[in-house]
């Protein structure tokens, strides 16, 4: 008798999940570390070779059904060579209160932007890249001056 009640309990949880609705959104998914086309998405030819994913199907065990597209521009600060700009485009599921925000870490600077339409993360946002690179160069210059002052 307990097995039968357990089956009904499981069915009562699974059936609504099968019919629940979620807003599907498609986003470009790439990382310029292994796909140089990810850097140049303003070019329609590049967009044609970057994969597009359905966020509802590509994000495993997502805790949210409100997906959106995200673009992350990172400037990796190398001590012994020039900074490297890396772009990642993917699905997101935890929204930030601002459309774009910046993070300044010891080894990289990043700008994260979120958007809410199909394949909207192709936007170039060159102003953010310029600001990020300028910030990286400033950080390197400050570090160099501090290092030089200690020698």
pLDDT for the residue 87: 96
pLDDT tens figures, 24-73: 799 999 999 999 999 988 888 888 899 999 998 877 665 667 899 999 99
Residue extents of the structural domains in the chain: 25-150
Longest dimension (CA), the chain: 80
- pTM of this prediction exceeds 0.85: no
pLDDT tens figures, 118-137: 999 997 544 444 445 455 56
Name the average pLDDT for the chain. 77
Cα–Cα distances in Å, from 46 out to 32, 38, 51, 85? 12, 8, 10, 18
User: CATH top-level class for 25-150?
Assistant: mainly beta
């Amino acid at each position: 008798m307990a097995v039968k009640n357990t089956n009904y309990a499981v069915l009562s949880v699974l059936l609504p999940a099968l019919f629940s609705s979620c807003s599907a959104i498609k986003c470009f998914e790439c990382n310029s570390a292994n796909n140089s086309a990810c850097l140049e998405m303003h070019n329609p030819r590049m967009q044609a070779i970057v994969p597009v994913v359905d966020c509802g199907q590509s994000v495993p065990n997502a805790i949210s059904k409100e997906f959106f597209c995200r673009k992350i521009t990172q400037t990796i600060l190398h001590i012994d060579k020039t900074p490297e700009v890396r772009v990642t485009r993917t699905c997101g599921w935890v929204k930030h209160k601002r459309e774009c925000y910046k993070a300044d870490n010891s080894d990289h600077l990043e700008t994260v932007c979120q958007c809410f339409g199909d394949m909207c993360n192709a936007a170039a946002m060159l102003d953010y890249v310029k600001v990020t690179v300028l910030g990286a160069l400033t950080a390197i210059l400050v570090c160099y001056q501090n290092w030089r002052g200690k020698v």
